[in-house]
Amino acid sequence: MMDKNSIEKSGISQDCIESAYCFIHQKLRVYEFSNNPTQRDDIEYAISQYVEGMNPVLYQLLADGRKDFLLDHTRFEEDMRMAQDSLEKCL
C-alpha cells in the first residue's frame, strides 16, 4: 500500500510523484469522458509506455503486488483511478 511513509522510506522524489500524478490525472480525465474507442486505446497505450519508463519503485508501490497494474484492459479505468488517488495522497 502506498502512503507518505512508504514514499519517504523508498527515497522517491516529490517531483517524481508530481509528474506521475499529473500525467495519470490528465489521461484519466480524457479517458473517462471519451466515447471514441480509438482515443481510449491511444490513452491505454500512452499509459503503458509511461509505465515502462516510470520509476520502478513507484510503480511497485502503486501496483501493490499486481504485475498487470495499469496494463490490463479490463481493469484499466479502475487502475487509473486507484493510481491517481494514491498519488494524490502523497502530494
Can you give the pLDDT at residue 27? Answer: 99
* Full domain range(s) for residue 33: 4-89
Cell numbers of 69, please? 497494474
Can you give the pLDDT at residue 36? Answer: 98
Q: Write out pLDDT tens, residues 17-37.
A: 999 999 999 999 999 999 999
| Confidence (pTM) | 0.92
d(CA 3, CA 90): 6
Q: Categorize the per-residue pLDDT at 79 as very low, low, confident or very high, splitting at 50, 70 and 90.
A: very high
Total domain count, the chain: 1
- What percentage of the chain exceeds 70 in pLDDT? 99
55 closest CA partner among 83, 27, 89:
83
